[in-house]
Amino acid sequence: MIGSVKGTRDLLPPETRVWGRVEETAREVFALHGFEEVRTPVLEPTELFVRTVGEATDIVHKEMYTFVDRGGRSVTLRPENTAGVARALVEHGLVQAAGVRKLWYAGPQFRYERPQKGRYREFRQIGAEVLGAADAATDAELLVMLFDFLGRLGFTGLAVSLNSVGTQECRPAFVEALRAYLEPFAGRMGDDDLRRLKDNPLRVLDTKDPAVKEVLPGAPQMVDHLDPASRAHHEELLALLSDAAIPFRIEPRLVRGLDYYTRTVFEVTAGGLGAQDALLGGGRYDRLVSDLGGPRTPGIGFAIGEDRLVDVLPQAFREEALASFAPVALVAIEPADRPSALALARTLRAAGISVDLDPAGKGPGAALKAAGKRGCRRAVLLGQREREAGTAVVKDLVERTQAEVPQAELTAYLKG
């Protein structure tokens, strides 16, 4: 037997019904906010992530699926989707054309991490990006959309953790203050944190090492090093979120594990995810597009870990999604009844009723059993007697009741 690759998994029915409903809901909510879908390649030039996500990040340093293709190019299975969206917009000249671009996506991402609950090597994200708008109102509106989406899934009690990481101009002074604070603790750091301390001390703030975590509460904070414009942006955002009743808390050490962020960064965590509790993350990236050779274009976005989202999905949404697929099984009693069954199936489907026509012809007993297993709640049986009477027998496979219904009334009966 050939099994799936470690850290990847098959999503099978009935669980795929839940994934499908989540994605449909995202599409609906995002469209209400004026976002259009974008689909970028899973395979991108390695350079794209090195330049944007950053060489010193764990993602680029040790988690990418990178290989040289048969043409000798270094390519990477995308570890995230923001860089790909920015690349696509620059490549197609779309950032110059219109003012603001609002795009969303859903799809697989790849990171070579140690698999555990809520963490996979192939995982899926649902994300959204706004390009061409620099103001704090855009940040606020994006978070409002996010909460709108999560609210429709039935989540309550979630709060955004929020911070500002400033700009390329004011960050160096903070990074140096951080380095100076952390250096005396180098003795307690493992290889990973020592490398981070050298390459980019900000990354030490993401450490998972308890001995290093212990010293972080005393570390300097980015919010104390913000330039006046970044500070004003941050404060305006806080005020707008309060007005919009979006629950947030300020997390002075939140830096996020990607280098392209400027100013606003945020995460939402959810209980029940174990150590991997970030349900989603996002932030502003005002230099990403220009770093990729495009015109100076500010941007902000988020990506939700769909695997994690589905893991902690409120029960009511899950149950409704599971119940949403319940075709009616249509069973022809004898081979001679099949043409009529086929015609009836077309009539019912034209009326919007999902019909699962029994193909096997193994007899009604076996057909009903199989239908129950496939998730059908009801079955319609058609035999010679019913054909002659212009009726059909409707069986409720759950309640174990049945009724004979005139075919002319069948649609209304099944919908009722």
Q: Which whole-number Å values give the CA distances from 324 to 68, 182, 314, 317, 356, in the listed order? A: 44, 54, 16, 10, 15
The interface region with ligand HAM, picked from 133-141, 167-175, 208-216, 303-311 by CB under 6 A, is: 303-311
**Minimum distance of ligand HAM from residue 149's CB (angstroms):** 14
Among 132, 201, 220, 281, binds ligand HAM (CB under 6 A): 281
Tokens encoding 300? 């902000």
Residue 142 CA to residue 147 CA, distance in Å, equals 9
Question: Which 3 state secondary structure label does DSSP give 261?
Answer: coil
The interface region with ligand HAM, picked from 26-34, 278-286, 315-323, 408-416 by CB under 6 A, is: 278-286
SS3 content of the chain, % helix, strand, coil (to 5): 45, 20, 35
Question: Which of residues 79 and 364 has its CB atom nearest to ligand HAM in the complex?
Answer: 79
**Minimum distance of ligand HAM from residue 339's CB (angstroms):** 50
Among 220, 301, 364, 383, binds ligand HAM (CB under 6 A): 301
Per-residue H/E/C for 281-323: EEEECCCHHHHCCCCCCCEEEEEEEHHHHHHCCCHHHHHHHHH
Question: Which of residues 59 and 331 has its CB atom nearest to ligand HAM in the complex?
Answer: 59
Position closest to ligand HAM via CB = 305
The interface region with ligand HAM, picked from 40-48, 66-74, 298-306, 379-387 by CB under 6 A, is: 298-306
**Minimum distance of ligand HAM from residue 278's CB (angstroms):** 4
**Minimum distance of ligand HAM from residue 155's CB (angstroms):** 14
Task: Return all residues near 410 (Cβ < 8 A) that are at least 6 apart.
Answer: 344, 348, 380, 392, 394
Q: In what order do the strands lie in the sheet with 65-68?
A: 43-45, 74-77, 65-68
Per-residue H/E/C for 128-177: EEEECCCCHHHHHHHHHHHHHHHHHCCCCCCCEEEEECCCCCCHHHHHHH
- Please give the torsion angle defined by the CA atoms of residues 365, 368, 372 and 377, in that order, rounded to the nearest 10 degrees: -140
Question: Which of residues 47 and 224 has its CB atom nearest to ligand HAM in the complex?
Answer: 47
N- to C-terminal Cα separation, the chain: 47
Tokens encoding 67? 């290989």
Among 40, 76, 82, 207, binds ligand HAM (CB under 6 A): 82
Among 307, 337, 356, 358, binds ligand HAM (CB under 6 A): 307
* Residues of this chain, 85-144, that bind ligand HAM according to CB under 6 A: 111, 113, 118-120, 123, 125, 127, 129
Question: Which of residues 162 and 393 has its CB atom nearest to ligand HAM in the complex?
Answer: 162
* Residues of this chain, 256-275, that bind ligand HAM according to CB under 6 A: 257-258
Using CB under 6 A as the binding rule, whether residue 254 contacts ligand HAM is answered as no
> What's 119's DSSP letter?
B
Phi, psi torsion values for 122, nearest 5 degrees: -110, 120
Among 84, 305, 327, 364, binds ligand HAM (CB under 6 A): 305
* Residues of this chain, 61-80, that bind ligand HAM according to CB under 6 A: 80
**Minimum distance of ligand HAM from residue 87's CB (angstroms):** 13
**Minimum distance of ligand HAM from residue 117's CB (angstroms):** 10
Among 166, 283, 298, 383, binds ligand HAM (CB under 6 A): 283
No. of H helices and E strands in the chain?
Answer: 17, 16
- Chain contacts with ligand HAM (rule: CB under 6 A): 80-82, 111, 113, 118-120, 123, 125, 127, 129, 257-258, 278-283, 301-303, 305, 307-308
